[in-house]
Structure 1
Amino acid sequence: MISTQDYHGLLDAANLKRIGKALAVLDAINSPELEYRYYTYNAVWGENEEVLEVSDGEGDQMLILFRPEGCVINGYLDGYDQPDKTQVTRGLPEYFDDFIFGEPVNSIGTTFCLWYTAAHGWQTGLVKNEDDGSEELLFMLDGNPETYAEWADEYYGEETDRSPMDVAAVAKIYQGETLTKATVLGIVDEVADWAQLEEDLQAIGYPYDFG
């Protein structure tokens, strides 16, 4: 399980960005209403900056900033003690400072932090508490489409009679393939508003061709 204790399963920044966009696309397909999505992606967060947001709607939240230099992950889990932020970010490159020490991260809180640069790979600061809950938010970043399919079938299908999603369709999105209507209908049985989905894909910055 990926955590601050063992983060070797994390992809490099470029591939993590690809998976982050895929997760947001999949959630946009699964949940037309933005407020109920677990994963969202902002391709125009700032100049040369993009952000994946993970939120369970119950207080747990993770933000991942992507910049040309790499990426940084800020995680907050409700109910966990917040460590000394200067310690868990020890060694953090300065170009991530505005994000990690600014808003909205500062108001959200920080229970764990990791970052990636091409020169040094994944790193974290001083982690004194092994039980920081990081695996609860990082598990989906393993790059395995089956991980998402299993989670989403339960999360979105628990109280509905929808069909289990096609893992092959999930894999196509994980690979960054241009989204087609056929692939979308491998994820859900029907789409009520294709125009809304197109808007979501444009915001994420994901290619599509609905004919």
Structure 2
Amino acid sequence: MNVYDVAARLPDIPPLRDHCRALAMLDAIVCPEWQFRYYSFDATWSPGEDMASMRDGSGDAYSIVFGPAGAFIRGFAHESPMSPARTGDLWPGLVDAVPDAFHAHVTEPAFSYNGRLEATFVLWRQPHDKRWQTGTIDLPPHGGHGTSPDGAELLVPLCDPSPNTYLDFATDYHEVTLDTAAVRHIWALRPLDDATVTALNPDLTLADIRSDAEQIGYPVTH
């Protein structure tokens, strides 16, 4: 699934943001050590902007910035034939059409390597857009990376509204079987409580995870 396929399937900005917050909250509970988490969310990334992110520990990653201008996604698949490390520069057309409102993200040091955006796929959506946008890109032949040459399949979990997405992921990645009701509780963004936290990780209480919830912007019972 390449970037064009993903652009047609990603949800609108508000549900995507909620989806990312739920994934980050689940991962924070299942994996308390931040450096080993797969999904993260920072509700205070910059003034007026939130950022969702994914790191798989093997070099693949994405970042999604949510703000007044809309949302901007940059993703990087390290084995992609479109990697700047392989081509020496960004793939033609990748960022040429990015609106000025998102220019700061194209040059953001946190998304860059050696002064250049680290990306093999880029999407964006402004509030007035009817769908997600991409550049006009001539994709190379499949290079053996996942299911697409640009690595955009990294976003496929964000296209699925079902909590089974995280249940299956946790079984495969974290090697744990989670309480389905607790996962559904967080998937629906219901306020976090002790019972839900403990159902997902018996070693934690709400007090242990409260600061993570605050950073994610996730509601917590008082």
TM-score by length of 2: 0.84
Give the alignment's Cα RMSD to 1 decimal: 1.9
For 1:194 and 1:186, locate their aligned partners in 2 and report how far apart those are by CA, in whole Å.
11
Contact 1:27 1:40 in 2 (8 A): yes
- What's 2:60 paired with? 60
Instruction: State how far apart, in whole Å, the 2-side matches of 1:182 and 1:192 are.
Output: 10
Structure 2 residue 189 is the aligned partner of structure 1 residue 171: no
Matches within 5 A, 1:36-75: 36-75=36-75
What's the secondary structure of 2:122's corresponding residue? Answer: strand
Query: SS where residue 59 of structure 1 aligns?
Result: coil
Q: 1:181 aligns with which of 194, 200, 204?
A: 194
SS state of the match for residue 122, structure 1? coil
Please list every run of at least 4 consecutive aligned residues from structure 1 whose deviation after the TM superposition is greater than 6 angstroms: none
What residue in structure 2 maps to residue 21 of structure 1?
Answer: 21
Q: Which one of the candidate residues 85, 90, 93 is aligned to 1:87?
A: 93
Secondary structure of the residue that 1:176 maps to in structure 2?
A: coil
Query: Which residue of structure 1 lines up, in the alignment, with residue 126 of structure 2?
Result: 117
Distance 1:86 1:127, change over 3 A: closer
Distance in 2 between the 1:90 and 1:125 partners?
Answer: 7
| Among 197, 202, 210, the residue aligned to 2:209 | 197
Name stretches of at least 5 consecutive residues in structure 2 with no aligned partner: 85-89, 140-147
Aligned AA for 1:145? Answer: P
Task: Provide the aligned length of Structure 1 versus Structure 2.
Answer: 202
In structure 1, runs of 5+ residues without a counterpart are none
Shift of residue 86, structure 1, vs aligned partner:
6.0
SS in structure 1 at match of 2:125: strand
